Chain A
Amino acid sequence: DIQMTQSPSSLSASVGDRVTITCRASQSIYNYLNWYQQKSGKAPKLLIYAASSLQSGVPSRFSGSGSGTDFTLTISSLQPEDFATYYCQQSYRTPRTFGQGTKVEIK
């Protein structure tokens, strides 16, 4: 199986901060990388697909980059509603493995 490793596992940030989360795959997954946001008690929400494409309805402060094995999710200016846990997922091979998650908390 392809292993997905996110860093950091958690971070504290203030409203307005620029936040970057990284995800590394154990082998090349080309651009088959997706990012999800999950708020407490809710289902995950797809934010970014194909490494850098913004899902419909997602604010433009979210962006993704990378290819091969290294990927990044950036929130350009953190908003109060962005405090949540973020997961990367590869969809290159089944099982479609997720990273362990990054919890973004209020500083």
Chain B
Amino acid sequence: EVQLVESGGGLVQPGGSLRLSCATSGFILNTNWLTWVRQAPGKGLEWVANIKVDGSEKNYVDSVKGRFTISRDNPKNSLYLEMNSLRVEDTAVYYCARGRPFGEDYWGQGTLVTVSS
């Protein structure tokens, strides 16, 4: 069974940092792209970043470029999102997902990040 489980969310002050993790199981990690998607409270879905199977290519939405870094550790079956210079508008539930050419087909349950003073 494919599973993705996020962790690392919490309350952080504006300008602070947080590192999210996503533990995966049930599929061969090093043959799949991985993705982060977020959803602000009461809002729609926003694609944040993705990373190629070997980590050699990373893509980001403009609003997080230079502040967020996506990475992966295939032997540990894990995906990460390092978030720096956090803003109030980064408050959201962050989901990790398996990326395919057509869509993100498996998702975690999400972890809530709240940026507030």
Contact = CB atoms under 8 A, between A and B. Distances in A.
A26 B56 CA distance: 29
Contact of A95 (B61, B101, B107): B61
B45 A98 contact: yes
B47 A49 contact: no
Main secondary structure of the interface of B (DSSP, over half): strand
A94 to B, nearest CB: 4
B66 interface: no
Given A49-B100, A91-B101, A91-B103, A97 B47 contact: yes
A7 B95 CA distance: 25
Nearest to B105: A46
A87 B45 contact: yes
B1 interface: no
Interface residues of A, number: 25
A34 B60 contact: no
A50 B28 CA distance: 23
Given A34-B103, A43-B110, A55-B105, A95 B59 contact: yes
Contacts of A94: 47, 50, 59
Contact of A89 (B47, B107, B108): B47
B44 interface: yes
Contact of A53 (B50, B60, B102, B109): B102
Interface of A: 1, 32, 34, 36, 38, 42-46, 49-50, 53, 55, 87, 89, 91, 94-101
11 contacts: A32-B101, A32-B102, A44-B37, A44-B104, A44-B107, A49-B103, A91-B101, A94-B50, A95-B61, A98-B44, A98-B47
